Amino acid sequence: MYGLAQTSLQLITGEGEIYTDEFGRITQVGTLNINYVAYTTLTAIVLILLALQGGQIKRRRMKMLIFAILGILVIGAVSTQTRGVQVSLMLLGAWIVISKLGRPLKTITAACAVAIVSVSAGWASSFLDDLDRGNRGVDGLSGRTILWETARSKWVDSFFAGEGMGADRVQNAGYLPTHNTFLGLGMTLGAVGLALFLTFAVSSLNERIKGLRIRDRRFPLIMIILAFTPILLTSSWEATASGWVGLALLSTPILATTNQIKARRTA
């Protein structure tokens, strides 16, 4: 957490080793890819919010410190200029504001599922082109839609078994990953591999919350769905260590929240 706060301050102040491309966009902080920094910072933000929601931070001074760190991380995440993370933060902010208005879990889950299918199937390509036009001198979320078109065409050739690990990188001149977790897994591991990944991710979280009432599951589940759907759609987060560590850590605050709620019921 300290390292992320330090990196965020570096981005906010513009000091230190910050590298940009010919379009003025940040590409690296020190030796770290800027998108990796952004996604890791977002994971930390979600963890802090879940810990605060679960009542795990009780001392006033500690809460003040955590809120200060949270503010630095949010500004730092925005300063990375990573679109997926910026969208995630906007969605999280909106959800926190409206979290007490009804029970939108099913609606939000369905909307995210539609977004996943629309982006991965290419139905939203023209919209994404307009959204990101001129961002780095190329159309379509900094060239991602071109990678997605290649991945879709190759996935069709081997829908169930996939093309094999690493196949997405060898299909383009830049040796780049697909930058879409669902398409990348589908192309390389096929529909079977994608289904296994989704089953593992969902079951990891569900194991922690299955004892809760539906209304008690709402806040942590919606936060995770809103935070990570945009970056899973625009990155190769499943290939990073922080992606898997983040999934494991996200289960821990949910477990803590579960224990806290159960304790309040029996008190």
**pLDDT tens-digit profile of 16-28?**
889 888 777 888 9
pLDDT category at 207 given cuts 50, 70, 90 is low
pLDDT category at 41 given cuts 50, 70, 90 is very high
The pLDDT of residue 44 is above 60? yes
Give the model's pLDDT for residue 178.
87
Higher pLDDT, 93 or 18: 18
The pLDDT of residue 136 is above 60? no
Higher pLDDT, 263 or 109: 109
Q: Taking all residues of the chain, what is their mean pLDDT, rounded to a whole number?
A: 79
Phi, psi of 51 (to 5 degrees): -65, -40
The pLDDT of residue 241 is above 70? no
Contacts 24+ apart (CB under 8 A), 44-47: 44/1, 44/4, 44/73, 45/70, 45/73, 45/74, 45/77, 45/89, 45/92, 45/227, 46/92, 46/223, 46/224, 46/227, 46/228, 46/250, 47/246, 47/249, 47/250, 47/253
Q: What is the mean pLDDT of residues 49-78?
A: 85
The pLDDT of residue 262 is above 70? no
The pLDDT of residue 228 is above 90? no
pLDDT category at 48 given cuts 50, 70, 90 is confident
Give the model's pLDDT for residue 226.
84
The pLDDT of residue 43 is above 70? yes
Distances (CA, A) of 24 to 18, 73, 142, 227: 11, 22, 13, 26
Give the model's pLDDT for residue 112.
80
Give the model's pLDDT for residue 100.
63
Give the model's pLDDT for residue 87.
86
Q: What is the pLDDT of residues 145-161, one digit of tens each?
A: 888 888 898 899 899 99
Q: What is the mean pLDDT of residues 55-75?
A: 87
